[in-house]
Amino acid sequence: MYLITIEGGDGSGKGLATRVVSDVMRREFPFVSVEVTGEPRREHPLGRLAIDAVREKKMSPDEEAGLFAADRVDHSHGWILPRLEQGKAVVSERNIHSSLVYQGLVGGSGVDRVAHMNSAALIPDLCIWVDCDPDVALKRIKSGTLRAHSDKEEYFETTELQRKIRDGYRKLLSGETEMPVPFDMGGIIGPILNEGSEDEFKSQLKAAIRGFLHSRPTPVNVDVEIVDRNLLRRLIRNSKGQSTLQGLGVEPTSSREHWLSKKAPWRVINECQKEHKSSIDSVDEGERVYVPNHVLSHSISSVLGTLSLMGSADIRELRRSLGPVRTVTERHTQTIVKYLHERLGWIHQHRSLIGREAPRSQLRDEIRSMGILSIAIWPLREEIIRWKKENPKTHLRFSMGQIVKSGKCTAAVNSVMERLKILGSGSESHEIPENPEDLVKWWMKT
């Protein structure tokens, strides 16, 4: 879902930074996977042309920039974008900012001209700028820190050139030189100095990527709704092979096609919200329950909805299946699961009879309609909550009609209908809504 790029001069520590950042993203965040790449692509014909052009020094900066742009555009749309749309993250060692510095500033082609050549390429969601004095970098190369790259010292060329490159990064990434459109849309963190200990460098990198991802920025290159729908299809495919738990007091799940259990969607939400509110209101004064007030909140909807499409899961499996759009922190996921299990009884938990595995959770069959409904109306959750606050005395069954009639949520309404094409209408008496009017009818009736 996010394209993270690592930039800096030769020998600055980009390779180490790429490994650290990708490792943190894999361990701590629920992406489908984290893919590592780099530019120019050494194993691709377009990338090899760009590399050979630099080494042979037979082309002008403009010609070099054109070769790098060709490799980047092909890389962007042929390899990176399909992965972002699948909910994966991509960490790239070098990307557009390298061309803007090397050919645009140092080579003299100009950042605007180089940006125009690359205008069809993806825009990094975040550029992490690592910095190192060229003398320190060259000393590391000669001492063997980077000896695995046998041609590194030769490619490093001269300290004088590296100083120009370092200054180019400083001008571009500090804002002294205006970042050209459209590459001014992404975030920049740095400089992260790599002149002290490796532990210090790693610590700064970890803080940088955690801060960015915890802020949950909107992706630059992909629509989060497209990403989440792709993840739902994947989750449904994976869950089809799972068997239902037997002999644990959990009835077999009802038909996937009739998941509303002959209830109108508004009624399913209304009944679950009343039960949830009653549970919160019954908490003693000295006892705190750190859960949202509404069942359509992000965290409750995400947990219920994801579990509704899984046979059973422990916390790690559940979080991995939430995906980057519906993500909830590990600690809050545990809080929500515990609340749904202990106070509402909506989740059944069991421990493996073998070993000491973490307890597994399964949504009880009678709550499954609320779970799938949470996923189906995900794009309109906040609007429904807002409508209810503004219309406390009006029945929830009228909310969808008034939201549709307002015309303020057209994209979200269309997204709900697209989700229902994946999940089904949930009722044998209703076809999948084809237009907003059909969606209102589906909402109000079984």
The pLDDT tens digits of the residues spanning 372-420 come to 999 999 999 999 999 999 999 999 999 999 999 999 999 999 999 999 9
Mean per-residue pLDDT for 302-322?
91
Binning pLDDT at 50, 70 and 90, where does residue 144 land? low
- 83-141 residue pLDDT tens: 999 999 999 999 999 999 999 999 999 999 999 999 999 999 999 999 999 888 887 77
Mean of per-residue pLDDT scores for the chain: 89
CATH, domain 3-222, list 1.20.1050.10, 2.60.40.10, 3.40.50.300, 3.30.420.40: 3.40.50.300
Measured CA distances, 9 to 168, 196, 366 (Å):
9, 17, 59
Q: pLDDT band at 333, cuts 50/70/90?
A: very high
152, pLDDT greater than 90: no
The tokens describing 445, both together, are: 């009736």
pLDDT band (50, 70, 90) for residue 244: very low
Distance of alpha carbon 40 from alpha carbon 93, whole angstroms: 9
Is residue 189 within a helix (H) or strand (E), and if so which, with residue range?
Answer: strand 187-193
CATH 3.40.50.300 region(s) of the chain? 3-222
| pLDDT value of residue 289 | 73
Distances (CA, A) of 295 to 71, 169, 192, 289, 367: 47, 48, 42, 14, 12
What band does 271 get if pLDDT is binned at 50, 70 and 90?
Answer: very high
Query: Which pLDDT score is estimated for 146?
Result: 46
Reported as type and span, the H/E element at residue 134 is helix 134-143
Output the CA torsion 205→207→208→212 (10° steps): 140
* Burial class (CB within 10 angstroms; exposed 0-12, middle 13-18, buried 19+) of 405: exposed
Q: How far apart are CA 39 and CA 28, in angstroms?
A: 26
Q: Distance of CA 107 to CAs 176, 212, 320, 396, 398, Å?
A: 18, 32, 45, 63, 63
Judge whether 106 and 154 are in contact, CB under 8 Å: no
Element spanning 128, H or E: strand 126-131
Q: Alpha-carbon distance 128 to 132, whole Å?
A: 13
Which residues lie across from 6 on neighbouring strands?
93, 128
Which residue stretches of 282-349 are H helix?
A: 298-308, 315-322, 330-342
Contact 245, 312 (CB under 8 A): yes
Q: How many CA atoms lie within 13 A of 114 on its CB side?
A: 29
What confidence category does residue 290 fall into, taking pLDDT thresholds of 50, 70 and 90?
Answer: confident
